[in-house]
Amino acid sequence: MTSPLISVKNLTLRFRTDEGLVTAVNDVSFDIAPGEVLGLVGESGSGKSVTAKALMMLNAENSVYDDNSQITLRLDDEEIDVLSLKRPRDQMVIRGGAISMIFQEPMASFAPAISIGDQMIEQLLIHSDMTPAQAKEVSIEMLERVGIPEPAHRFKQYAFEFSGGMRQRAMIAMALSTKPRLLIADEPTTALDVTIQAQVIELMKDLVDEFHMSILFITHDLGVIAQTADRVAVMYLGNLVETGTVRQVINTPAHPYTRGLLNSLPKLDDLDAPLTPVPGDIPSPLDRPSGCVFHTRCVETGGIAEKCRTQIPGYTTDSSNHQVACHLATQEDQS
């Protein structure tokens, strides 16, 4: 077995706020193998973006990492302890180098007053030993590769001159031009129409094959996950509640929250099936429930409600590495 490209171990991340310390990520561990697409799902506020930003040390100034949190990036010749990279100079290896990130709102990742082309060149000059002429050539090639018509002309334009779908492509082109080992895609298609989303997903799949990179794909759309991810991690209120292959998680979900998400979705092959939302709202991270963090909304606590309210469920892993944090799973093991 090849070792993972990146390993996250016991990641706990809090934010200092006026109302006190807010726990945004709680004891999260996962690996991403080379060439693997890991889908990260969960509702708004569950901590997906904050987790992703931790991989690049991009979280806000008020963030505090717990001492035993560890993120290890394995490149060909070295192991990088990401959380120890305190100086911006040291962080250059990861930011825009070994790891690139694309965001939901592509406007945010382009400077408005600099042409798309100049921004692409600048990135390449920082992260490679190309000459400006080579960088220009590679950038135009990448724009063409992501399907932007007349790339040499578009290269000189500014982000506001691009349509939404084109900006998303340009952002992907810029993120991939440095040939990162890991691409973090934070809701890259959420703001797009389904037709354009389909184009972008196909593009990303082709590029994974071509560059053999790993992707951390964040979305709350389980359909997008089903069509792109190899493995899936489900997040709730800062905790990973389930991880497994895409087939395990979508076809045989083990956690009541995952089942809840699936039951909320409108299904095209059964228009009359009722939509069953997960009851209630996600609690404030200032006021994390005791025991299982999901117990305030779980409909499956049945006979073990007391246990759910007071004891934190540990992870149960079956023989095929399908992991779940739920007392029901341990009950089954014992019976």
* 103 lines the binding site for ligand ATP (CB under 6 A): no
Interatomic CA distance for residues 216 and 103, integer angstroms = 12
Smallest gap from Cβ 312 to ligand SF4, in A, equals 9
Smallest gap from Cβ 327 to ligand SF4, in A, equals 4
Contact pick of 136, 169, 231, 295 for ligand SF4 (by CB under 6 A): 295
Subset of 244-283 contacting ligand ATP (CB under 6 A) = none
Nearest partner of 95 among 182, 158, 204, judged by Cα = 182
Binding marks (x or -) toward ligand ATP, 3..32, rule CB under 6 A?
------------x-x----x-x--------
* 296 lines the binding site for ligand ATP (CB under 6 A): no
Report the phi/psi class of residue 237: left, alpha or beta, with left for phi > 0 and alpha for psi in -120 to 50. Answer: left
* 298 lines the binding site for ligand SF4 (CB under 6 A): yes
Residue placing its CB nearer to ligand ATP in the complex, 8 or 24? 24
Three-state secondary structure call for residue 323: strand
Interatomic CA distance for residues 249 and 179, integer angstroms = 30
Contact pick of 2, 44, 320, 335 for ligand ATP (by CB under 6 A): 44
Contact pick of 11, 30, 48, 185 for ligand ATP (by CB under 6 A): 48
Q: What number of H helices and E strands is found in the chain? A: 12, 13
Nearest partner of 148 among 203, 195, 193, 67, judged by Cα = 203
Q: Give the C-alpha distances (Å, rounded to integers) separating 316 from 28, 254, 255, 322, 324.
A: 15, 10, 11, 8, 5
Which residues, in sequence order, are CB contacts of 221 under 8 Å at separation 6+?
189, 190
Q: Residue 49 binds what, of ligand SF4, ligand ATP, other proteins, none (CB under 5 to 8 Å, by partner type)?
A: ligand ATP
**CB under 6 A: which stretch of 10-18, 204-212, 263-271, 289-297 binds ligand SF4?**
289-297
Q: Residue 285 binds what, of other proteins, ligand ATP, Mg ion, none (CB under 5 to 8 Å, by partner type)?
A: ligand ATP
**CB under 6 A: which stretch of 44-52, 167-175, 221-229, 256-264 binds ligand ATP?**
44-52
Which residues, in sequence order, are CB contacts of 32 under 8 Å at separation 6+?
4, 5, 6, 38, 182, 214, 216
Smallest gap from Cβ 311 to Mg ion, in A, equals 30
Binding marks (x or -) toward ligand SF4, 207..246, rule CB under 6 A?
----------------------------------------
Using CB under 8 A as the criterion, which residues of the chain lie in contact with other proteins when the complex forms? 43-44, 163-166, 193-199, 201-202, 220-224, 226-227, 246-247, 250-251, 260-268, 271, 274-278, 281-282
- Token pair of 54 as six digits: 């931790």
* 214 lines the binding site for ligand ATP (CB under 6 A): no
Three-state secondary structure call for residue 46: coil
The label of the residue with tokens 């994974």 reads 208
- Token pair of 215 as six digits: 């992707």
Nearest partner of 256 among 313, 192, 185, judged by Cα = 313
Q: Give the C-alpha distances (Å, rounded to integers) separating 245 from 4, 48, 88.
A: 16, 18, 36
Smallest gap from Cβ 141 to other proteins, in A, equals 21
Smallest gap from Cβ 298 to ligand SF4, in A, equals 3
Which residues are near ligand SF4 by CB under 6 A?
Answer: 255-256, 292, 294-295, 298, 300-301, 308, 313, 326-328
